[in-house]
Structures are given as C-alpha cells and as structure tokens.
C-alpha cells in the first residue's frame, strides 16, 4: 500500500483571493454613487429652474404692481383731455385735427402748425407787459406747482412730462395765447393796442373747440386772474361770448347761471366743456313715461310728412334740443349749418361719448335724432322750407351727408333723450287713417285751386246723386 503524504502550506504564504460576493458589493456601490451624483445634479438643476420661476413670478408681480401704480397716478377719472376714439375719428379725421394752432401736447410736434409760434410770442409779450411785476421765471414757477395735476388731465402722461421745464413753457405759451385771443375777440384790451390777429379768427376758433386741442381750464383761469382788472367778467363768461360770436346757436345767458356755477373754475374742465355747459344748462332731464325703447329706425322727414306729420320752427327758442311731437306736429329749433358746424358738433359729441360724468348726452342724441330724420336731400329741402334748417354750406345733399355721417360711432343708450318723440312719430305713421288723410291732402288739397276743384266736384257729385234719388222716388210714386 502506497503511502500518501499531504503538504501543508502556511496560511501566511498563500495569496489571498477576494470572494465573489465582495466584488459584487463594490460594483454596486460604484453604481449607487453614480446614480446619487446624477440625482443630485438633476435636483440641483431642478432647484435652479424653480428658483428662476419664482424670480420670474416676482418680476411679474413687481411689473404688475408698477402698472397698477401708474394706473393710480394717471387716474382715468381725472383724464379730461383725451384722444378721440378710432371709430369716431375714421369717418372724418380732419374734424379732430387743428389746422392753424396747436394747444397742449397732443399736436405740439405738428410742423405744419409752426407758423403760429410767432403769434404765440406776440401774445405772450402783451400778456407780460400787462403785469410788469413778474418775470417769465415767476410764471413758470407757478405752473410747476400744478404740473402733476395738469399731467393727470391727459392720456399717456409718461410721455408728456419728461422735460418739466419744456412742458411748463408750453403751458405758458399756449395758455397766454388762448386767454389773450379770447379777450381780444371780446374787445377786452386797451384801445391803443391793435389786434394781433386780424384775419382767420374763425379758423383759430375752430381749433380752440377741438377736444384734443385743450388746456385744463384751471391753468387758463390762473393766467386770466393774473391780468384781470376790477369788474372784468369771469373767463367762463368771456368764453361764452367768444363762442356766440362765431356760432349761431341758442345759448344760455349770463343771468341764467348761478353765482357758484360760473365762478368755480375747478368744476370746469376746458373750453369745450364751457361751451357744453352754456349750450345744455337748463334743459329738462326727461323721465320717459313709456318703457318701450325707441325704434332704431324712425321714418324720415319725408315719410313722416306723407303720413300727415307737420313741421314748425320753434319760436323764441332758448335751447337747440327742444324738439317735441304732439298731435301730428313736430316742432324743431332752427339749426344753422355753416363751414365750422360739423367740427364743433363732432367734438362736442366726442367729449360726451368719452366722459364718464356727462348725462344726458344732449349733442349725441340730437345728432342721432337728426340722422333718423334726414336720409337724403329731399328731407333737408323739406326742413329748410319750414325754416328749421338754414343751409350756408351749399347744396342740400351736403347737409344730408353731414348728418348721415356724424352719427357714426355714436352710442345710443336706453336713456335716449328723444325716446318719446321717436315712438310717437312711428306710431303716428303706423295708423292707416293718418296716411289716408295725408294722401287726400297731398293729391286733392295741395293748393287752393286744387282744393276748390275738389270741393266743387264733391258738391256736383252730391247734387247729381240727390237728383237721381229724387227722380227715382218720383217715378215710384
């Protein structure tokens, strides 16, 4: 039997080997470390993005807060001198644009109006000569005190007040021009002083009636008081006198106003507002007894006439808006149409349409009512023959076009001032008997000879019928 020997090697001399399980554990640790790094990187990036979103939201909040602050500073309710809405402007843009002189900031950069700058200087020099105690710097300083208040009267104030000195200089130049020109037109200046502007007064008046071409009334009043002499009328009264000399409309007189109404310049917005006050003050605010809305299309003047409606001019009229319809008779105040009529009327309507505190909207409702009444030159001709319209601009179709377009973009509210008149006139036309009477009058009684012939024919017909009846009854007996 062979001997078997076993060699025993000391453990210290052996090469140690890593078990398989430990290798797997090390690989797993590396993988976990890798994923931990990836996750950390991902969440770090995510946190950055979230931080950016938070910063972005903060920026938005800050910007919105700034917008709200600007809105509060601009105060929509304090904006009284605004730009005309597009839907009103587009039918006749020229009616809202100055032709000779710019007043205020909106049209200041219009180079075509540059020639009037020398006249502004002439009026400014005359203004300063009346009050030799103060220099130009003193007036500018006074205007600086109200600059912020003035800016709130305009739209886009951030674009207007960048240069404070230039803005106040504009207020002085334009304000003195307006005040001195109105005083000149009213004859309030020393006799030794010649008129600075002898021609084109009507064109300057036209520009001073534009809603975009205004200065706040408190600025004009401040300048007026600086040179006002004892016993001189308030500026608002002078404006009414000035307006009356250019437009043939019925307006309220000085005596019809209360003391506080015309003296408190803080309640007046601008020149156009003064004209609106004197034109509309004292008109009754109608409370309609009929809940029915007026028809959007009322028969025109010719159609109403064919249905038996008669027309008459208001005698001793005190208001342009005193239109009434009673028992088939429509009474309307006389309205003169001349070159500047459309411009003044359009700007008064624009003022009403964009002011939050004007009610009733007399001029807007008047324009819409006349648009209902006038469709063509035939309607104008009818009203002109009745003395209701005085046409100073040419053909009747031009007047018809004026009223047909002037109502574009004008809103008609449920409180339409002529609601009752429109309903009554429409109902009158819908009654067959009224139309029958109108046809008889038109066809058989339209002249004395025609009426006499018709009456004679009726009498002859009655006599013939009577003779026939008598002859028949005699034959029967």
Domain count for the chain: 4
Residues contacting residue 27 through CB under 8 Å, at least 6 positions apart: none
Taking 90 as the threshold, does the pLDDT of residue 192 lie above it? Answer: no
* Residue 421 confidence (pLDDT): 93
Instruction: Mark whether 115 and 239 lie in a shared domain.
Output: yes
- Is residue 422 within 8 Å of residue 295, measured between CB atoms? yes
**Rounded to a whole number, what is the distance in angstroms from the first to the last CA of the chain?**
189
User: Which tops the pLDDT comparison, 343 or 129?
Assistant: 343
User: In this structure, how many other beta carbons lie within 10 angstroms of the beta carbon of residue 368?
Assistant: 25
| Domain of residue 454, residue span | 448-476
Decide if 411 contacts 358 (C-beta within 8 A): no
Residues paired with residue 160 on neighbouring β-strands, in sequence order: none
Provide the pLDDT for residue 410. Answer: 86
Model pLDDT for residues 69-101, shown as the tens digit of each residue: 666 555 556 789 999 998 889 989 999 999 999
Three-state SS sequence of 412-457: CCCCCCCHHHHHHHHHHHHCHHHHHHHHHHHHHCCCHHHHHHHHHH
Banded pLDDT at 466 (limits 50, 70, 90): confident
Q: Answer yes or no: do 257 and 372 share one domain.
A: no
Beta pairing class for 329-332 and 324-326: antiparallel
The answer to whether residue 140 sits within a structural domain is yes
Is 177 in contact with 119 (CB distance < 8 Å)? Answer: yes
pLDDT of residue 447: 55
Number of helices (H), then strands (E), belonging to the chain: the values are 20, 5
Tokens 């002078």: give the residue. 238
Q: Between helices 362-373 and 419-430, what is the axis angle to 10°?
A: 20
Residue 191 pLDDT > 70, yes or no? no
Q: Are residues 166 and 218 in the same domain?
A: yes
Residues 236 and 339 in one domain: no
Report which listed range, 193-207, 250-264, 322-336, is most confident.
322-336
165 plus 238 within the same structural domain = yes
Same structural domain, 322 and 418: yes
Classify residue 259: in a domain, yes or no.
yes
- Check whether residue 430 and residue 329 sit in a common domain: yes
Looking up tokens 């300083």, which residue turns up? 141
394 and 345 together in one domain: yes
Q: For residues 89 and 74, give the distance between their C-alpha atoms in angstroms, rounded to a whole number.
A: 24
Distance CA 346, CA 96 (A): 8
Residue 445 in this model has a pLDDT that exceeds 50: no
Residue 369 lies in a domain: yes
**Residue 284: what are its φ and ψ, rounded to 5°?**
-70, 140
* Per-residue pLDDT tens over the stretch 359-369: 899 999 999 99
- 114 with 244, same domain? yes
User: Given a cut of 50, is residue 11 above it in pLDDT?
Assistant: no
Residues 60 and 117 occupy one common structural domain:
no
63 lies in the same domain as 110: no
Domain annotation covers residue 5: no
Residue 323 domain flag: yes
Helix, coil or strand: residue 187? coil
């Amino acid at each position: 039997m062979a001997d078997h020997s076993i060699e025993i090697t000391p453990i210290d001399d052996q090469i140690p080997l890593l078990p398989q399980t430990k290798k797997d554990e090390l690989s797993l640790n590396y993988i976990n470390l890798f994923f931990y790094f990836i996750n950390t990187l991902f969440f770090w990036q995510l946190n950055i993005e979230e931080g950016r979103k938070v910063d972005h939201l903060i920026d938005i909040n800050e910007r919105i807060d700034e917008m709200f602050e600007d809105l509060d500073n601009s105060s929509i309710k304090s904006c009284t001198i605004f730009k005309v809405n597009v839907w009103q402007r587009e039918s006749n843009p020229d009616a809202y644009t100055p032709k000779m002189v710019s007043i205020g900031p909106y049209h200041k950069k219009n180079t075509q109006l540059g020639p009037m700058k020398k006249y502004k200087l002439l009026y400014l020099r005359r203004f300063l000569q009346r009050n030799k105690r103060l220099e130009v710097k003193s007036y500018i300083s006074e205007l600086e005190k109200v600059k912020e208040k003035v800016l709130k009267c305009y739209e886009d104030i951030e674009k207007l007040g960048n240069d404070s000195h230039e803005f106040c200089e504009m207020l002085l130049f334009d304000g003195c021009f307006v005040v001195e020109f109105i005083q000149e037109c009213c004859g309030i200046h020393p006799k030794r002083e010649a008129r600075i502007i002898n021609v084109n007064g009507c064109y300057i008046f036209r520009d001073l009636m534009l809603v975009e071409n205004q200065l706040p009334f408190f600025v004009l009043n401040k300048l007026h008081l600086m040179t006002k002499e004892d016993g001189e009328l308030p500026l608002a009264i002078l404006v009414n006198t000035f307006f009356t000399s250019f437009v043939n409309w019925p307006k309220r007189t000085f005596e019809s106003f209360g003391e506080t109404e015309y003296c408190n310049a803080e309640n007046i917005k601008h020149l156009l507002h003064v004209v609106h006050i004197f034109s509309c003050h004292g008109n009754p605010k109608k409370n309609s007894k009929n809940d029915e809305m007026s028809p959007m299309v009322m028969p025109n003047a010719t159609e109403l006439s064919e249905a038996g409606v008669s027309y008459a001019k208001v005698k001793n009229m005190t208001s342009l808006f005193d239109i009434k319809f009673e028992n088939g008779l429509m009474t309307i105040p006389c309205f003169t149409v001349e070159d500047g009529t459309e411009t003044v009327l359009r700007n008064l309507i624009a003022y009403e349409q964009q002011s939050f505190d004007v009610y009733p909207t007399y001029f807007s409702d008047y324009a819409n009512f006349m648009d209902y009444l006038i469709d063509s030159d035939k309607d104008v001709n009818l009203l002109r023959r009745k003395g209701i319209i005085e046409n100073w601009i040419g053909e009747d179709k031009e007047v018809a076009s004026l009223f047909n377009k002037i109502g574009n973009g004008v809103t008609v509210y449920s409180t339409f001032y002529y609601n009752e008149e429109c309903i009554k006139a429409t109902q009158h036309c819908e009654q067959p008997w009224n139309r029958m009477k109108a046809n008889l009058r038109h066809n058989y009684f339209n002249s004395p000879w025609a009426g006499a012939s018709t009456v004679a024919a009726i009498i002859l017909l009655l006599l013939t019928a009577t003779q026939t009846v008598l002859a028949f009854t005699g034959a029967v007996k």
